[in-house]
Structure 1
Amino acid sequence: MKTTIDNSFEDFKTALNNSPDLQQEFRENPVKAAENITTNPKETDSWIYRIIVLSFGLIILTIVVTLTIMSMDGSQINAQVLTIFTAISSGSIGALAGLLAPSPGKQ
């Protein structure tokens, strides 16, 4: 049985206290039981962040290219469309900056 915990000892103690099956596994074979404990995938899987960063980057790039094509086409850009594109792109840039900035707890 796989048990998922965050990367702290307090979470490990809580999981051990709340799970009689995990306690029994540790009594029988502590090494094997420790191998069955997995950490939070957000902390260990770098592909999650790569996919998110790629998605936000593609959103920003698509909006810039679309606005460039619309302005070169000679057609009038509706102010409402421009506002929507601005909101989407600024939200994507903010989310991208938030992902790439180091968190205060991991300095």
Structure 2
Amino acid sequence: MQNLATPPTPLQTDVLLYRIVVSCLGAAMLIALIGAIALVVIDKETPDVLVAIGSAAIGALAGLLAPSPVRG
């Protein structure tokens, strides 16, 4: 009988790729946060695109770092 298990995905086998993606998303989140704070300090309005980029980076990080559900 042949083992028909699915091969591992690159996310499971390539640790460097995973770290690069998490680092880039974290950097985007921090840059958006620092930019928004800097704009508030100098009494400027925070652009919606800056908020959208920060929110998307946080959501992507949450999706990558959350444990996947186990199918039974």
Gaps of 5+ in 2: none
Structure-2 residue corresponding to 1:93: 58
User: Going by fraction, where is strand more abundant, 1 or 2?
Assistant: 1
Give the TM-score, by structure 1 length: 0.54
- With 65-74 and 95-104 compared, the bigger mean Cα shift is at 65-74
SS at 2:70's partner residue? helix
Runs (4+) of structure 1 exceeding 3 A deviation are none
SS at 2:64's partner residue? helix
Deviation at 1:68, TM superposition (A): 1.5
Deviation at 1:73, TM superposition (A): 2.0
CA–CA distance in structure 2, aligned partners of residues 40 and 97 of structure 1: 19
Aligned length: 69
Structure 1 counterpart of 2:37, one-letter code? T
Asked if 1:65 is matched to 2:34, the reply is yes
Gaps of 5+ in 1: 1-8, 13-37
CA–CA distance in structure 1, aligned partners of residues 52 and 8 of structure 2: 36
Structure 1 vs Structure 2: percent identity of aligned residues?
A: 35
RMSD across aligned C-alpha pairs, in angstroms?
2.3
